[in-house]
Amino acid sequence: MWIIGLPLASAILLGACLAPTDPVLASDVQIERSDGDEGCEARFALTSEAGLNDALAFPFVYLALLAAGAGLSAGGLGLWFWHDVIWRLSLGLLAGLAGGWLLGRIIYFLPDDTRLSRTGDGFIALGMTLAIYAMAEFVQGYGFLAVFVAALMLRTAAQGDDFNRELLDFADETERLVMMVLLLLFGGMLTGGGLLASISWQAVGLAAVVLLIIRPLIGWIALTGVDRPKLELFVIAFFGIRGLGSVYYLAFAVNHGDFPEHHLLWEVVGLIVLASIVIHGLSVTPIMKRLDRHFGRTAESES
């Protein structure tokens, strides 16, 4: 509100759009294998954060829609907190738990001639993702949260099963392919669409503050008391990688509410995503290699 002059509703929406992180854009921070070791704590933290904050930020998109529509009255805030925070997060959690447990039974514990794990088909990962997401949205829960929880349930359903690795490899290749297509479209927005043609210095300053001050500082404060090496804490605090999840949030809100400043919102979100891709994308590989050396992990030891 202070830096670029947004009204309250648009400022809340911008905060919600910039909250999710997306390590797919810098795959070196993702968990690389299912059997983690001491050197994977930063990867685990960043990967699990990206899985959780997609859902945990969504209530604030609805808060922005409330502020843009009826306003932030006491009654409206109470209803928002109950329905969009408590109720929908709970339904997403329950849908993930139930769906993950059920899929675990179907994939791993049916008779040998009917269980899905015997097929070795990685496309099951895509089908499970869509099924869990649809089920959660059908009961008005948060699909992102349900998919994350279901994945955890499925991983623990048959710890060490070779099919888990097949699902992970397929999901990894699929997300890279989809991300490549989405980045091409994002590049088209930046060039052909002229998304950043009228960007202001205030917006540039906001992008720098978000990526280089707010995220690292709050991340470092949140890790106070965590007994890990300072380099690892820095990696977790610094790599708040913004990605195309922010674009999804903004598109969702603009299509469900009236935000007169939506052009400015698109410019700021596009700039921050672009800056994050450049800053974090260029720095992640050397920093993560240094972290791996700190723990004595090498490419040979991982393979």
Cβ neighbors of 93 (< 8 A, separation 6 or more) are 141, 145, 146, 149
Whether 1 maps to a domain, the answer reads: no
- Where do runs of H (alpha helix) occur along 158-261? 162-191, 201-209, 215-222, 230-238, 244-254
**161 or 203, which is more confident?**
203
8 A C-beta contact, residue 64 and residue 257: yes
Average pLDDT over residues 168-189: 82
Q: Hey, what are 256's tokens?
A: 């469900």
Number of domains in the chain: 1
Whether 290 maps to a domain, the answer reads: yes
**CA-based nearest residue to 97, from 47, 152, 58:** 152
Whether 294 maps to a domain, the answer reads: yes
- Cβ atoms < 10 Å from Cβ of 202: 14
Q: Is the pLDDT of residue 118 over 60?
A: no
Q: Which tens digits make up the pLDDT trace of 1-23?
A: 888 989 999 999 999 999 988 86
Q: What is the DSSP letter of 118?
A: G
Burial class (CB in 10 A: 0-12, 13-18, 19+), 40: buried
pTM of the model: 0.84
8 A C-beta contact, residue 76 and residue 66: yes
Whether 2 maps to a domain, the answer reads: no
State how far the Cα of 271 lies from the Cα of 56, in Å rounded to an integer: 23
Structural domain including 241 reads: 8-302
